[in-house]
Amino acid sequence: KAGVTQTPRYLIKTRGQQVTLSCSPISGHRSVSWYQQTPGQGLQFLFEYFSETQRNKGNFPGRFSGRQFSNSRSEMNVSTLELGDSALYLCASTGTGWSEQYFGPGTRLTVT
Amino acid sequence: EDKVVQSPLSLVVHEGDTVTLNCSYEVTNFRSLLWYKQEKKAPTFLFMLTSSGIEKKSGRLSSILDKKELFSILNITATQTGDSAIYLCAGSNYGGATNKLIFGTGTLLAVQP
């Protein structure tokens, strides 16, 4: 069974631009969660989608948004990029019930 | 506010040593405690613990949860250089039918030959 995939793997953007990251969960998984990982703050929860609906949202500004499609693939968007948005963005998929989350390889975003 | 605290922050050991990593948590409506290993990129799943006092084991790794004292430990016996990584623990809760995980900052383990 294929794992969680994320594209692109690396991205360099300029302040003020916007970016869209994509995540395809494990086949059959309907929940996708997004996390931001930085050296100073560690792994922080951004939001979770289940059946195309956002179920929970972390403490991030409105510049961070996401969506989920009917095939469970998810995208997250960051608008008006700031230098502090440079981070590894990880998505994780979860199967039925309260099971463990499996992470994708991440997208390394660098904002210059 | 929910929080997860790991200790030590970093650890250097020699191959063959046994290490114990600690994780304490304060998570509202606690459901489970998860351990992950992170080397270069994505955290890889190790254990999920939901019941107190029941040890989970996988090869040289084992973990146990104490829901009364709100902590978990991860043991690694006969360490190898391949065990060098950041070990993350995370708590999950029942709030809002969500799969949100609250992560600790991790323990950086370096195993020297």
The predicted-structure confidence for A42-66, as pLDDT tens digits, reads as follows: 899 999 999 999 988 999 999 999 9
Size of interface A-B (CB pairs under 8 A): 63
| Residue pair B90/B31 in contact by the 8 Å Cβ criterion | no
Instruction: Name which of B4, B3, B9 is nearest B107 in CA terms.
Output: B9
Query: Which one has a higher pLDDT value, A108 or A56?
Result: A108
Contact B41 A98 (CB under 8 A): no
Determine the pLDDT at residue B40.
80
Residue B96: both structure tokens together: 């809002």
Q: What phi and psi, each to the nearest 5 degrees, are found at residue B81?
A: -60, -30
CB neighbourhood size of B19 (10 A) = 17
Determine the pLDDT at residue B80.
97
A43 touches chain B (CB under 8 A): yes
Taking only the tens place, the pLDDT of each residue in B35-81 is 999 998 789 999 999 888 889 999 999 999 998 999 999 999 999 99
Mean pLDDT of all residues in A74-78 = 98
| Separation CA A102–CA B36 (nearest Å) | 10
B97 touches chain A (CB under 8 A): yes
| Separation CA A74–CA A57 (nearest Å) | 15
Chain B, window 15-34: residues with a beta carbon less than 8 angstroms from a chain A beta carbon: 31-32, 34
- Nearest Cβ partner for B99 among A4, A33, A90: A33
| Separation CA B4–CA A57 (nearest Å) | 18
Instruction: Name which of A106, A105, A55, A73 is nearest B93 in CA terms.
Output: A55
Determine the pLDDT at residue A97.
64
User: Which residues does chain A have within 8 Å of residue B97's beta carbon, measured at their own beta carbons?
Assistant: 55
Amino acid at site A73: R
